[in-house]
Chains A and B, each alone.
Chain A
Amino acid sequence: MAIDTDKNSYTVIFAIVMVIVVGSILAGLAQGLKPLVKANERFEIQQNILYAMGINANEGPSDVEFISADKVEDVFNSTITKQYIVEGDKVTEDAQAYLLDVKKEEAKAKDPNYTRKLPLFEGEKDGNPIYVMPIRGKGLWDAIWGFVAVDKDMVVQGVFFDHAGETPGLGSEIKQRYFMDDFEGEHLLNESGAFKGITVAKGNADPRNDRKTDNAVDAIAGATITGDGVTAMIKKDLRMYVPYFKTLK
């Protein structure tokens, strides 16, 4: 049987059938794999939070290695003692706080009547409480985000940054050790105790980050806008936690 494959009606029917078949195959696959993908995303958040706290599988000096995915859940549950949702003055414990979608909260917070929910994770390091907070902002091309771990005086204990699509070799370097390690020990408050953030500064000329109280770290050459994005997201998102840290005093 010869089909006239040049007929318009045949072409249209072929296209429709193809779309339906392909669509159902892909939808079925996505549904089937969803639980696995979701679990992987959850592990990734846990790995990132632990990394910011300095818990990682780094071996060499430039490694950025996370706790492996099969162990991360246990390590996370034993390290993070409490998880909170901070809503204005109200602080509630919530064991699922790390799954709160920061991006959605940011969008909702555009409504001035909405009190933004802020997740906060508390752990312990060398006997002192340590707090981890998510941050999120814009780089040059796409979203950048991360986690910042601080002690009760808002001195940074460690950070983790990631990005969706910064320029390879330039902006993408924010997730490299030499950049992230610079934040360690850096103060978020100035001498008088007011919130100042940390500026990713050009010409800071402090490659080893010996000046911990200058609220600045060295920028990456060629990645000015990504660096400014990091500065902005630290300033904007961590400021919201300042009232909570005041209550710890």
Chain B
Amino acid sequence: MRLLSKKDSKLIMDPLADNNPITIQVLGICSALAITAQLKPSIVMAISVIFVLGAGNVVISLMRNIIPSKIRIIVQLVVVATLVIIVDQVLKAYAYSLSKELSVFIGLIITNCIIMGRFEAFALANGPWQSFLDGVGNALGYGVILVIVGFFRELLGSGTLMGFKVLGDPVEKTGLYAIGYENNGFMVLPPMALIVIGIIIWVQRSKNKELIED
């Protein structure tokens, strides 16, 4: 027996590849720029968005028949804001230094267009289980890109991964630095995130020609 029906697994797999919210729909770019200078905040941001979008989609879906259509955008905002405050408070209590590092970006999850987009486009019209899968799928699609970008920016920009010096020590001149390798300072600056995302988009579209628009 399959764990998920074909339609359900499509909900999760599509946003990971051919309908990725960042590389195809080009949503949520701002946070992809801001926090991907290192791998760790990227992962935390991805997990936070998975939680907010997964839970938010379920809540909205459960309420879809009782939400007054006149104020549905406000209701959606309240749901996102509540979930984001919960994430923020929990991080403050259990991962304080991380919450300082992410500071304003956790709050900015509220403005992440992917979230409102999925509420409006999917959760308002579908049942809770499908909405949950759709939310998790889209957040994963977002998170995957974030982690890829964070991986390359931290590795090439600082020579570290999750804070560990994987390429050797730039001051002691050990590892790769012994043979004259230098960190690329450009990689830690925000514009390089866009360029890395651009490269991902390029790779993805050259593999799947259907994605190329005229």
Write the residues of chain A forming the contact surface with B, with a CB cutoff of 8 angstroms: 3, 5-6, 10-11, 14-15, 18-19, 22, 25-26, 29-30, 33, 36-37, 40-41, 43-44, 60-61, 66, 69, 165, 169
Contact = CB atoms under 8 A, between A and B. Distances in A.
A228 to B, nearest CB: 24
Contacts of B75: 14, 18
23 contacts: A3-B65, A3-B66, A10-B68, A11-B71, A14-B68, A14-B71, A15-B71, A25-B82, A26-B85, A26-B86, A29-B89, A33-B92, A33-B93, A37-B93, A37-B96, A41-B96, A44-B96, A44-B100, A60-B165, A60-B171, A61-B171, A69-B96, A169-B189
A12 B116 CA distance: 22
Contact of A26 (B82, B90, B169): B82
Contact of A36 (B69, B82, B93, B165): B93
Residue from B86, B90, B97, B104 with most neighbouring chain A CB atoms (10 Å): B97
B26 interface: no
Given A3-B66, A11-B68, A30 B96 contact: no
Q: Which 8 A-B pairs have the closest CB atoms?
A: A36-B93, A40-B96, A11-B68, A33-B93, A5-B68, A37-B92, A61-B171, A22-B82
Interface of B: 65-71, 74-75, 78, 82, 85-86, 89-90, 92-94, 96-97, 100, 104, 165, 169, 171, 189
A33 B90 contact: yes
A11 B89 contact: no
B66 A22 contact: no
